[in-house]
Amino acid sequence: MILRLIHKFKVLIRPLLVISLMSVCAQAGAQTAHSVDSLNAELAKATTPADSVSILHNLYDCFYFNDRKPVLYQIYETAERAKDYRSMLETLFVLTALYQYEPELEEELVEMAKRVPASEIQRAHLLYIKLRYQTTNFNRMSEKERQQKLHQALKDYREHNRLDKYDRIACLFLICTNLRNTTDSELLVSYLQQLQDLIEEFPYEELPVRTLFYSLAINTYIDNGMYDKALAANKRMLELVAQFDKLHESQGRIFRNYDGSLYQCYHNMLVCAQELTDEEIDMYYDKIRHLIATNPRIYGDLDMQKRTRVYYFMAKKRYAEALPMLKEQLRIFNNHAQYAHFALLYVKAAREVGDKEALLYGSKIINSIYRNRLMAKSDISLSELQTIYDVESLKDKNRDLTFENQQMEIARRHQGIVAVTVAALILLCILIWMIRLYIHSRRLAKRLSSSNKKLVEERNTLQDIYSKLVSVRDKAEAADRIKSDFVENMSGEIRVPLGAIVEYSRLISGYAEGDSRPYIRGYADAMSVNTDLLIRLVNDVLDLPQIESGELSIHRAPSSVNGICNFSLEIVKKHVAPGVELIFANAGQPDTTILTDSQRVEQVLIQLLTNAAKFTESGSITLGYEVSRQSDTITFEITDTGIGVPRGMEEKIFDRFVKAASNTQGNGLGLYIGRLLANMLGGTLSLDSYYRAGARFIFTIPIA
């Protein structure tokens, strides 16, 4: 029922397709005729052979088959006048393909190729002509002549050391052509691979020989059921077609197309359908249908279309539709290379649909083919044995050459004696040169002695300078000691009056607190803040020599951590800007007692809190601590929301006289002294560089 509906659909749709194609062909014919007329008009206006060549190429692309031959000869002659050797060789490539079945023209085409200057590309085209006609002539020979040719080719290839690359390719091509038609021996794959390796050594431009080889390889692999290798070779052929297309596009050949080559490649893809997915099978079949619908020449090749449908039906497992078409192909391809392939497909389709009569018919064909192949394979094996025998006879000849090689060895030894003599002369020359070099070195030694005297004088001068520098250094150290002594002597003298000023300032501030005038209280607060700043600066300057020299003593005693923190916060409270919250993170928690110098700890904390107050205009300043019983340490953290420390200054701020901002109060000694005191207490002081919302300093000391 389904087959009847499909048949009715075909009957209805075929006239529509024919009418559509006739319309397309008519339009294509009219367009081609118009293009030919335009190109002929351009050709008449061309003034140089070079201009004419490009026009003739496009004119050639507009014609079909035999109409192209006169244009090809015209292109060749015009390209020769223009010395366009690439176009000459490309024309010969096409002429060889057209005339490959006319052996009498081979010599003429070879002579035409020799009119091109010798080069690798010219030799490749000569090889292409030779291979084309070699294949044609080989297929016309009798079986006996083929065996003789194969025997000679195998023998020549065994001695391939005396052959150049082109002769080896011709030899291998003949061997592969013969093995393809007679046997499926493993030698075939080996020889094909060797041939492919030689051909792929050609430069990119030498495409003709490559296409000829891959055409042979595809058909050979398919005939022997090596579909994976056939698929790989076919993909390489598609790449070569793309290279041809790209080359002609760069030459401005707008009418050139490769629909026929693409059709053959897509057809071969379907032949190798067992290596493809269902999506790939449909994709290649759709491409074939598109080429049939758009190219009149392909549409007219009905036999090729039938074979394509056979492979598509087999790939899609539509065996009932493929079986009658396969039987027709067996009738057409009787005694042809594809005969065995279609017979195998016929047997498979018959087995799948359960047609026993067709299965028996196909099996008889396959048995007959295999019987003939076994006989041919036996002949090939005998031929290979004969070749091996010939090689052994060549080895006997090689033994006869051994004596000649010995004579050559004697000659080489004589040459060695001559070489030794020459080497002795060379050594004598070197000795003379070394004597002259010795004399020259003596002269250099005298000059070096003079230079040494000058260096001794300069050394003495440098020693005098060094002595003076040592004297200057000693004076600097004495001055430094005088400075330190002066600072120590002045510390008591400065601290007593400075203490009196501070006490009187606090007294005045105490009286000012009860005054109702706000500006009086403001003056008093400012005076208190500045006197604290002054005494801290003076203390830093006076304490620095003792701390740096290690003379400052540390008095450890049990100390209350909460008491140290509260005292430090109370001292700094008046330095905090309005609106800034001063927070003790451990307020309300149980107190902790540690063994340390509470005065020095308070000094470090007050310095850090004062720094935080100096750079924080809004937000908060937080003091907190955490005790670690595992490491017996306590860690103080002073965190603010101020301007923070600029990147790159994280360690520099702990150097002497360095400030994070040059326009702020202070002498740049606070953090420097703080780190020194932390080290003296056995701890560390550092900046948390990961905290970027302000600044966070971490002060760690042991608790015992």
pLDDT tens column, 382-439: 555 454 445 445 455 555 666 677 778 788 888 888 888 888 899 899 989 989 888 9
**Which tokens hold the place of 69?**
């031959």
Residue 245 has pLDDT above 70, yes or no: yes
C-alpha dihedral sign at 221, 226, 228, 229? negative
pTM across the whole model: 0.49
What DSSP string runs through 284-299? HHHHHHHHHHH-HHHH
Q: What is the mean pLDDT of residues 242-262?
A: 80
Is 668 inside a domain boundary? yes
Are 535 and 557 part of one and the same domain?
A: no
Identify the three-state secondary structure at position 154.
helix
DSSP letter, residue 398: H
Note whether 619 and 584 are same-domain residues.
yes
Same domain assignment for residues 109 and 127 = yes
If asked whether residues 602 and 488 sit together in one domain, one would say: no
If one counts the domains in the chain, the total is 4
Least confident of 98-112, 197-211, 365-379: 365-379
Do 540 and 601 have their domain in common? Answer: no
> Strand order of the sheet with strand 695-702?
580-584, 619-628, 633-640, 695-702, 684-687
The parent domain of residue 91 ranges over: 46-136
Same domain? 609 vs 640: yes
Please give the Cα distance from 626 to 633 (Å, whole number).
9
Instruction: Calculate the average pLDDT of the chain.
Output: 79
317-333 mean pLDDT? 84
- The amino acid at residue 674 is G
β-bridge partners, 621: 582, 640
Token pair for residue 470?
């040592």
Count of Cβ atoms closer than 10 Å to residue 285 Cβ: 21
Statement to judge: residues 16 and 51 lie in one domain: no
The residue-averaged pLDDT of 523-539 equals 62
Return the pLDDT at 695.
94
Q: Which of 677, 669, 674, 704 is nearest to 687 (CA)?
A: 674
User: What tens digit of pLDDT does each residue of 668-678 get?
Assistant: 778 888 999 99
Does 434 fall in a domain?
Answer: no
Q: Domain check: are 536 and 577 in the same one?
A: no
Residue 26 reports pLDDT greater than 70: no
Quick one: pLDDT at residue 641? 94
Of 93, 114, 136, the position where a domain reaches its end is 136
52 Cβ neighbours under 8 A, 6+ residues apart? 43, 46, 78, 82
What percent of the chain is modeled with pLDDT above 90?
A: 15
Q: Indicate whether 591 belongs to any domain.
A: yes
| Structural domain contains residue 484 | yes
Q: Please tell me whether residues 540 and 617 are part of one structural domain.
A: no
Q: DSSP string of 585-631?
A: TTTTSPP-EEEE-HHHHHHHHHHHHHHHHHH-SSEEEEEEEEEETTT
- The per-residue pLDDT for range 44-76, each reduced to its tens digit, is 777 788 778 777 877 777 766 556 777 888 888
Q: Does position 475 have pLDDT exceeding 50, yes or no? A: yes
Total number of residues shown for the chain: 704
Query: Do 698 and 611 share a structural domain?
Result: yes
